């Protein structure tokens, strides 16, 4: 009875599970570091909810970035309020802004997140 094929399959599955776990841990650490750095920013509940959703989506999350329209739908506010909230998040350094006008998108202020690449998890 040769179990080589089963062992190979099992080890591949184990490796994939380890990689998936590592990605979850990396994202959790990145989110924790982000809030350690920005935890004292004066945010309202809408802003905190939106930033957490952006962080939960990960690098390049919210396909194409967060827009005023997406923000408005997420926290149920008008486009004008969404714009003001997002601009305030940029001023406080929580979000980076890319583009102009209707093409403006917002990303977590973490290196590499607006390009869709994984965050750099270096310690300070």
The whole-number pLDDT of residue 116 equals 42
| Domain count along the chain | 1
pTM above 0.85, yes or no: no
Q: Are 94 and 109 in contact (CB under 8 A)?
A: yes
State the sign of the Cα–Cα–Cα–Cα dihedral 79, 70, 74, 54. negative
Q: Which residues contact 14 (CB under 8 A, 6 or more apart)?
A: none
The more confident residue out of 123 and 62 is: 62
Distances (CA, A) of 37 to 6, 32, 54, 123: 47, 9, 16, 12
CATH of residue 13: 1.10.10.10
Residue 82 has pLDDT above 90, yes or no: yes
Mean pLDDT estimate for the chain: 85
pLDDT in tens, 3-57: 999 999 999 999 999 999 998 898 888 888 889 888 888 999 999 999 999 888 8
Residue 64, SS3?
coil
Is 120 inside any structural domain? no
Is 8 inside any structural domain? yes
Instruction: Classify residue 87 by burial, with Cβ atoms within 10 Å: 0-12, 13-18, 19+.
Output: middle
Is 54 inside any structural domain? yes
The whole-number pLDDT of residue 121 equals 39
Q: Identify the domain containing residue 11 by its residue range.
A: 4-115
Q: H helices within the chain, ranges in order?
A: 4-38, 45-57, 68-75, 79-91
Q: Which residues contact 116 (CB under 8 A, 6 or more apart)?
A: 59, 60
């Amino acid at each position: 009875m040769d179990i080589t094929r089963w062992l190979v399959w099992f080890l591949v599955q184990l490796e994939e599970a380890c990689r998936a776990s590592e990605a979850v841990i990396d994202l959790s650490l990145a989110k924790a570091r982000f809030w350690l750095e920005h935890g004292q920013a004066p945010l309202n509940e809408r802003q905190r909810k939106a930033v957490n959703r952006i962080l939960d989506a990960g690098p390049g999350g919210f396909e194409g970035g967060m827009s005023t329209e997406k923000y408005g739908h997420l926290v149920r506010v008008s486009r004008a309020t969404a714009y003001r909230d997002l601009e305030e998040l940029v001023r406080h350094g929580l979000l980076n802004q890319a583009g102009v006008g209707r093409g403006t998108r917002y990303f977590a202020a973490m290196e590499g997140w607006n390009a869709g690449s994984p965050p750099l998890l270096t310690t300070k």
